[in-house]
């Protein structure tokens, strides 16, 4: 019977920790923009050339 009381106490502590972290995330504005992340993966990232690739490209043109 004492094990059940300990488990209930631990579960209340864990639940309150999750509630506090959720409230903290809401106040920091983590969930404000829900539209942009869903369309961000549709746009391709620009590929940047490294210095060695630019150097090789210039050597080929010369």
The pLDDT tens digits for 11-46 are: 999 999 999 999 999 998 887 877 777 787 787 766
Question: Residue 33 has what pLDDT?
Answer: 77
Here the tokens at position 15 are 């639940």
Q: Which residues make Cβ contacts (< 8 Å) with residue 57, sequence separation at least 6? A: 49
Residue 20 to residues 7, 23, 61, Cα–Cα distance (Å): 20, 5, 60
**Contact yes or no for 55/49 (Cβ under 8 A):** no
Question: Residue 15 has what pLDDT?
Answer: 98
Query: Which of the pair, 11 or 1, is modelled with greater confidence?
Result: 11
């Amino acid at each position: 019977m004492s094990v059940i009381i300990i488990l209930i106490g631990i579960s209340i502590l864990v639940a309150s920790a999750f509630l506090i972290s959720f409230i903290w995330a809401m106040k920091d504005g983590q969930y404000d923009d829900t539209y942009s992340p869903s369309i961000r993966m549709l746009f391709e990232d620009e590929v940047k050339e490294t210095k060695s690739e630019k150097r090789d490209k210039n050597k080929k043109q010369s």
